[in-house]
Amino acid sequence: MILPEYLDTEVKKFYEFSKISIISDRISEKDKQLIGEFIKNRFKKLRQVNRELEIKNKVKIRTTLSEIIKTLRVDSPIEEILRDALIVEGLGKHLRTQYEIGSKRVDFAFPIAKLVVEADGKEYHRENQMQLERDMQRDKYLARKGWIILHIEGLAIRRNLGLCIEKIKEQLKPFLKVTTQ
């Protein structure tokens, strides 16, 4: 483990610096208190350094994410949730949002795999018969062009985002291997 090894090294340095004597693997009570204070202060300093690093990283991540997100516009809250999760999973570089394929526009596309992901909200895609028919026509059109269409319900995105991401990754897996070699 990293932390015990680090502490062991630091405590040994502290022994030498403070000229603490160890007799038969025993340390005086006074020296135990000194070592305890040293360890407590060392942890305090480490937490402070770590907090500063976390803040610095968060700023970098926010800046990077805001730049990525600007280019990946979405039209609904469920699309936003899915988009953010895909970015976190490292799929952002392959992701296109509100992507046009011929005369049709899709929520998400992964051109590398010719995969379309549609985030279907119940109100818009399931309860509106006219919209449902348009979706079916668009799916046929895209399939003729060689695209695979994966529909994910908004409820699934809200309740089991991990499963949704896994389904998308399953479809992308063969194509991502080719690009990373």
Q: How many CB atoms lie within 10 A of CB 163?
A: 12
Give the helix, strand, coil percentages of the chain, each rounded to 5: 65, 15, 20
Paired with 26 in beta bridges are 23
Q: Which residue range is the domain that position 7 belongs to?
A: 2-64
Whether the Cβ atoms of residue 115 and residue 101 lie closer than 8 Å to each other = no
Residues 99, 175 within the same domain: yes
Whether the Cβ atoms of residue 1 and residue 22 lie closer than 8 Å to each other = no
Does the pLDDT of residue 174 top 50, yes or no? Answer: yes
Of 56-65, 78-87, 117-126, give the range with the top mean pLDDT.
Answer: 78-87
**CATH code where residue 89 lies:** 3.40.960.10
Residues 23, 82 within the same domain: no
Last residue of a domain, one of 14, 35, 64: 64
Backbone φ, ψ for residue 27 (5° rounding): -125, 145
For helices 29-71 and 77-88, what crossing angle results, to 10°? 120
Distance of alpha carbon 18 from alpha carbon 4, whole angstroms: 20
pTM: 0.59
Helices (H), 19-76: 29-71
* Residue 35: predicted pLDDT: 80
The pLDDT > 90 percentage for the chain reads 34
Give the containing element (helix H, strand E) for 98.
strand 96-101
Last residue of a domain, one of 36, 64, 92: 64
Tens of pLDDT, residue by residue over 98-131, are 999 999 999 999 999 999 999 987 665 566 788 8
Paired with 151 in beta bridges are 118
